[in-house]
Amino acid sequence: MGAGGAVSDGEALMAKFQKLKTDEPGVTEYAFTCPGCGGLHMIRTEGERPRWEWNGDVDRPTCSPSLLVGPGTSYQCHSFIRDGQIQFLGDCGHELRGQTVDIPEWA
Ligand SMILES: [Zn+2]
């Protein structure tokens, strides 16, 4: 590991949330890869509802309220995002229901 005093900004730190490009003015959205259902989930932080409160940290995100994807389906994914981890609730359709795991770094 480098021990130099200069901080390089040439290499971006890994992040869990990836900012999405959008054509809509006043809209900010982030995406992350869900380790539970394997899908991509979108979090809108600015714009019209649905919209989430977010702590502004792409590496250790915390969002509220909970995220519910595919309600009523067999692949329902219901979670809380806290401090870079995703807490899957018991009503998820996938195997990580009831577990809390790290959100993977955006590849
Ligand atoms: Zn999911």
Please tell me the predicted confidence (pLDDT) of residue 107: 78
- Helix-strand-coil split of the chain, %, nearest 5: 0, 35, 65
35-80, pLDDT tens digit by residue?
999 999 999 999 999 999 999 999 999 999 999 999 999 999 999 9
Residue 97 falls within a domain, yes or no?
A: yes
Residue 43 CB partners (closer than 8 Å, separation 6+): 17, 29, 30, 31, 32, 52, 54, 61, 63, 67, 81
Q: Name the residue range of residue 89's domain.
A: 18-102
The predicted model scores a pTM of: 0.84
3-34, pLDDT tens digit by residue?
445 554 555 567 999 999 999 999 999 999 99
Residue 3 falls within a domain, yes or no?
A: no
State how many domains the chain has.
1
For the chain, the average pLDDT equals: 91
The neighbourhood of ligand 1, an ion, using CB within 5 A, equals 34, 36-37, 77
Distance (angstroms) between ligand 1 centre and the Cα of 3 equals: 39
Distance (angstroms) between ligand 1 centre and the Cα of 103 equals: 11
Distance (angstroms) between ligand 1 centre and the Cα of 48 equals: 22
